[in-house]
Structure 1
Amino acid sequence: MPAFAVEAAGVDVRFGRTVALADVGIRVREGETHALVGRNGAGKSTLVSVLTGMRVPDAGEVRFFGAPAPPVADRAAWRARVSCVYQRSTVVPDLSVAENLFLNRQGAVVRWSRLRRRAAELLEQYDVAVSPAARVADLTVEQRQLVEIARALSTGARLIVLDEPTAQLDGPAIERLFERMRSLRAGGVAFLFISHHLQEVYEVCQTVTVYRDARHVVTAPVADLPEPRLIEAMTGDPGGLAVPGASGRGAVGEEVLAVRELSGDAFADVSLTVRAGEVVGLAGSASSGKHQLAETVYGLRRASAGTVTVRGVPVKDVPSALRAGVGCVPRDRHHQGLVLNLSVAENARLSVLDRVVRRAALHRAGQAAITSYDIKADGPGQPVSDLSGGNQQKVVLARALAADPAVLVLINPTAGVDVKSKESLLGVVDARARAGTAAVVVSDELDDLRACDRVLVLFHGRVVREFGRGWSDQELIAAVEGMGR
């Protein structure tokens, strides 16, 4: 029987009166990929901070291969046991691959030829096909992720925590990552795999642990826990994900958004219309141009040709989009959607902050957003940085809807959120569409696209297919991958 790469038992963590973890544990075997799943705020991130030595628990213990965890101050000892590849990259973009691989380990005197040679050997050992001299900023997301994994393994770590590793990867890149994980597993490396994509849990993991409300719920072989039971363990409610709007919404109204022969970064000659009360989806691979198209519709990017109008009013940049009545949930909530050091109320009203003068009015507006969008927060004044990912996303949606837009553009609206938060977010979109808002949903999530009245598929920057309701997963995925055109 393989040894346990890590064992945590009886772990408690409290932040004042808030219980972040209550008597939880987890055991990951050598050579195993072990999933840790749960709703936003279930305690997953807190456990990772304990397992990586970033936080001392109030109670409990952590052991690596049967030996007690090292003192928190001994960072080198922790890096030799465990490393985490976070959803948000921790590599330094302006440094080379070689410099990132040996950051803080290059020695007092740097011999650059030797450093690059050692980096090349390491990259070859773990089959990472990038140049040691390449600037990390010039790498793809997939390549940066593999560099981080190679860096982790080079310290001797035999436990790798992967936090939402596929959030920014397309289908082929995800499969290459999974193949790399399987190869490393065969060599005894253990993975703790954190993901809201439950289908990935079944594809790549052998064991799954579920946390709910800061407590351990169940640990079981993946094969023994079918998806409805897994979702029930995560939410406490029987049944699977309900997709609001999936069964239709009735008649649509007049044309609101018109995109005519639009060309720009990574897409060309795209035309589409969206009517009042209609939700149109955009699907495609990461290189399809779908994100760039949506960002051009909102004015974040300049078009090279063609027009975007909302009820006849031209959209050319963000100010003109706001004046025309376009609201947007952007692709990256941390850099484009939120000001992390501002409060929930301030973030929820950013798009109309000039209309709120008095502090009391801002507080009332923030409380209304918390109530309307089921945001789990201590109050309107809480910094948005304190919230879980799902609740942060709800704040972004509240901000996008604060001005009562005629058109709502949502880019990966449920990325990194749990099942119930996904239902809540899609429910808001459905309710707005029923009230007459036109919406464009750009997503890699099939459940997000199921809420759409139509789905347009982009391939290499052009619309190649259009699906009405009733499409099958196989049909849509085949079109995304460019098959059957």
Structure 2
Amino acid sequence: MSTTDPVPQRGEPVVELAGITKRFPGVVANSDVNLTVRAGEVHALCGENGAGKSTLMKILYGMQQPDEGTITINGEQVRLRNPQDAIRAGIGMVHQHFMLADNLTVRENVLLGAENLHGIGKAASRRIAELEERTGLRADQNLLVERLGVADRQRVEIVKVLYRGARIIILDEPTAVLVPQEVDALFETVRDMQEQGFTFLFISHKLDEVRAIADTVTVIRRGATVGTADPKRISSRELAEMMVGSELPSPETRESTVTERDVLRVRDLKLAAEDSERAVLDDISFTVHAGEILGIAGVEGNGQTELVETIMGMRKATSGAIELVTEDGDRNLTRLGTLARREAGIGYIAEDRTRHGLLLNQPLWVNRVLGYQTRRPVAKGPLIDRAGAREDTSRIVEQFDVRTPGIEVLAGALSGGNQQKLVVGRELSGAPVLLIASHPTRGVDVGAQALIWEQIRTARADGLAVLLISADLDELIGLSDTIRVMLRGRLVAEADPRTVTPQELGSAMTGASTDGTGEGDGS
């Protein structure tokens, strides 16, 4: 099979997975999965975390081999031993976490590893320009990827797979970090490419979006195919029931538990870029009260990550103050290290759990210890209490529905959603006075979402202060008591979650409008 084979006619099967089974020690990831994708359609694959979607896509992209079953591409049975085989078969994959080198240009990222296709000269530049126009990417080829917004980075990834000849494109959680306007633009690109004969496999947990873009939906539950549906004839609630056996959860919280007691005070916080005097954070001031969820909205790259890392002591503020108010009084955290801040009472759900939240090559009970190695129940004095850590990990696994064969399993063997539930359970188990929750449900299914939302709501009702950063605007609006909008390192507006719409919030996030949000003064 090669990319020079005749293009199949619309409606003809281009991908047929039959009886796909994949076993790992202690778990069957896929069990007799069947899937047929037809030329020119957007075929959505839905299922809760751990249902087997990622494993199935890794098999189709040649990253893993099935124990049983067959793969047929364009009518020909194939064996995809690695991603190169999949690329030669016309399959491309745009991963949820972009596989781009920030210190290279758009052109260099596209050409990397594909220099033999069109060379590295004018022919390559012309081909990239054609694909940029096709995908709506308007960035200069010589622009560093680090200077692109998240939506354009995604388009660079699509250009990369098209440059390698893909006609079948896997989009893994493609809208996870996009604001509504960017989602609309992506869908427009997908529909335009459909008209040109491209086929898409669309992996998502956002069921309303699935119903908006997909022609067909296949649902997988616990490793097996549940069924295939027409998204135009099925509701999001019905899809959720197929996925997890329950109705679609909502993040909505309307009963107020906000008190007048300050917990976190951030005053006049500034952070200069490492390579210049440019302000990454500029005069940031806000207060989070006990029993309050303060949401921070912003397009990725506008300073949210730097704000969180500065509060956690992972970056050193240029000026300003960070204070935590506890029963023992006010404590200035500005010059303290990360461990001291955590010991003072801050729980931290990191934006990237694989980099800052977990040790993937260590068992679950070891990951329970991270950040709490000086406190009970996982420590006795200066020593780790292994028995206590194991016992508390078992409690978290049960309370937070972490689906695992046991606590000795490596964290990297869990699905993304179960990894996230472990992190949330650990951070809420340390009796924090403040929880910094950065994208707490990114990439998790509706069942895991519902559990995480409920745990955060319960902790808030018990007096926990929460600083919530999320790209999911429904989550921000549903959970938050107050929303502040962040743009180019400044807090530019405040929104009332009881009245603001996702579209109004998205406009404020892009600087297009503050209508419906109210002007903010950054204080």
Global fold match (TM > 0.5) = yes
* 1:390-440: CA deviation from partner (whole Å, max 9, x where unpaired): 111122223323432211111111100011101111111112112221111
Alignment-mate amino acid for residue 202 of structure 2: F
Query: What is the distance in 2 between the residues matched to 1:328 and 1:364?
Result: 22
* 1:178-228: CA deviation from partner (whole Å, max 9, x where unpaired): 222222211111010111222321332222111111111121221111111
Counterpart position of 2:7: none
Q: Match of 2:238, SS?
A: helix
Counterpart position of 1:420: 447
Alignment-mate amino acid for residue 47 of structure 1: L
Query: What is the distance in 1 between the residues matched to 2:258 and 2:98?
Result: 44
- In the TM superposition, residue 77 of structure 1 has moved relative to its aligned partner by 6.0
- In the TM superposition, residue 253 of structure 1 has moved relative to its aligned partner by 5.4
Query: What is the distance in 1 between the residues matched to 2:197 and 2:256?
Result: 51
Q: Quick check: 289-298 or 442-451, which moved more?
A: 289-298
- In the TM superposition, residue 263 of structure 1 has moved relative to its aligned partner by 3.3
Query: What is the distance in 2 between the residues matched to 1:103 and 1:459?
Result: 33
Counterpart position of 2:167: 158
Q: Is structure 2 residue 278 aligned with structure 1 residue 269?
A: no
Q: Is structure 2 residue 297 aligned with structure 1 residue 289?
A: no
Counterpart position of 2:23: 14
Q: How does 1:304-453 map to 2 (within 5 A)?
A: 304-311=318-325, 312-316=330-334, 317-355=337-375, 356=379, 357-449=384-476, 450-453=478-481
Q: Quick check: 180-189 or 142-151, which moved more?
A: 142-151
Q: Is structure 2 residue 192 aligned with structure 1 residue 183?
A: yes
* Counterpart pick for 2:493 among 460, 464, 468: 464
- In the TM superposition, residue 131 of structure 1 has moved relative to its aligned partner by 4.6
TM-score normalized with structure 2 length: 0.84
- In the TM superposition, residue 234 of structure 1 has moved relative to its aligned partner by 1.0
Counterpart position of 1:84: 93
Kept after mapping to 2: 8 A contact 1:98/1:115: no
Judging changes above 3 Å, is the alpha-carbon distance between structure 1 residues 23 and 92 closer, same or farther for their aligned structure 2 residues?
A: same
* Counterpart pick for 2:124 among 114, 119, 122: 119
Query: What is the distance in 1 between the residues matched to 2:83 and 2:227?
Result: 32
- In the TM superposition, residue 325 of structure 1 has moved relative to its aligned partner by 1.7
* 1:57-86: CA deviation from partner (whole Å, max 9, x where unpaired): 232222112121245369346433212111
Counterpart position of 1:174: 183
Kept after mapping to 1: 8 A contact 2:47/2:221: yes
Query: What is the distance in 1 between the residues matched to 2:258 and 2:110?
Result: 56
Q: Match of 2:219, SS?
A: strand
Q: Is structure 2 residue 251 aligned with structure 1 residue 222?
A: no
Judging changes above 3 Å, is the alpha-carbon distance between structure 1 residues 106 and 250 closer, same or farther for their aligned structure 2 residues?
A: closer
Alignment root-mean-square deviation, CA:
2.6
Kept after mapping to 2: 8 A contact 1:296/1:302: yes
Q: Match of 2:424, SS?
A: helix
Q: Match of 1:339, SS?
A: coil
- In the TM superposition, residue 255 of structure 1 has moved relative to its aligned partner by 1.5
Judging changes above 3 Å, is the alpha-carbon distance between structure 1 residues 222 and 257 closer, same or farther for their aligned structure 2 residues?
A: same
Query: What is the distance in 1 between the residues matched to 2:289 and 2:141?
Result: 51
* Counterpart pick for 1:52 among 61, 78, 99: 61
* 1:307-328: CA deviation from partner (whole Å, max 9, x where unpaired): 2211121122524422432121
Q: Quick check: 130-139 or 218-227, which moved more?
A: 130-139
- In the TM superposition, residue 331 of structure 1 has moved relative to its aligned partner by 1.2
- In the TM superposition, residue 135 of structure 1 has moved relative to its aligned partner by 4.8
Kept after mapping to 2: 8 A contact 1:116/1:132: no
Counterpart position of 2:255: 248
Alignment-mate amino acid for residue 313 of structure 1: R
Counterpart position of 1:278: 292
Judging changes above 3 Å, is the alpha-carbon distance between structure 1 residues 340 and 233 closer, same or farther for their aligned structure 2 residues?
A: same
Q: Match of 1:148, SS?
A: helix
* 1:89-144: CA deviation from partner (whole Å, max 9, x where unpaired): 2344555544443444435xx99xx5132331221111244455555455544344
Query: What is the distance in 2 between the residues matched to 1:447 and 1:138?
Result: 27
User: How many residue pairs align between the two structures?
Assistant: 479
Kept after mapping to 1: 8 A contact 2:96/2:173: yes
Alignment-mate amino acid for residue 241 of structure 1: P
Judging changes above 3 Å, is the alpha-carbon distance between structure 1 residues 149 and 474 closer, same or farther for their aligned structure 2 residues?
A: closer
In structure 2, stretches of 5+ residues that fail to align are 1-9, 272-278
Alignment-mate amino acid for residue 493 of structure 2: V
Kept after mapping to 2: 8 A contact 1:5/1:158: no
Q: Match of 1:259, SS?
A: strand
Judging changes above 3 Å, is the alpha-carbon distance between structure 1 residues 95 and 263 closer, same or farther for their aligned structure 2 residues?
A: closer
* Counterpart pick for 1:41 among 28, 47, 50: 50
Kept after mapping to 1: 8 A contact 2:168/2:199: yes
Judging changes above 3 Å, is the alpha-carbon distance between structure 1 residues 266 and 206 closer, same or farther for their aligned structure 2 residues?
A: farther
**Aligned-pair identity (%):** 34
Kept after mapping to 2: 8 A contact 1:351/1:399: no
Q: Match of 1:306, SS?
A: strand
Query: What is the distance in 1 between the residues matched to 2:442 and 2:83?
Result: 35
TM-score normalized with structure 1 length: 0.90
Query: What is the distance in 2 between the residues matched to 1:236 and 1:205?
Result: 22
Q: Match of 1:369, SS?
A: helix
Query: What is the distance in 1 between the residues matched to 2:388 and 2:293?
Result: 32
Kept after mapping to 1: 8 A contact 2:394/2:407: yes
Query: What is the distance in 2 between the residues matched to 1:471 and 1:176?
Result: 22
* 1:131-177: CA deviation from partner (whole Å, max 9, x where unpaired): 55555455544344323322222332210101112223344443333
Query: What is the distance in 1 between the residues matched to 2:507 and 2:120?
Result: 44
Counterpart position of 2:4: none
Q: Match of 2:115, SS?
A: coil
- In the TM superposition, residue 351 of structure 1 has moved relative to its aligned partner by 0.8
Query: What is the distance in 2 between the residues matched to 1:185 and 1:101?
Result: 22
- In the TM superposition, residue 348 of structure 1 has moved relative to its aligned partner by 2.0
- In the TM superposition, residue 297 of structure 1 has moved relative to its aligned partner by 2.7
Judging changes above 3 Å, is the alpha-carbon distance between structure 1 residues 446 and 455 closer, same or farther for their aligned structure 2 residues?
A: same
Query: What is the distance in 1 between the residues matched to 2:507 and 2:481?
Result: 19
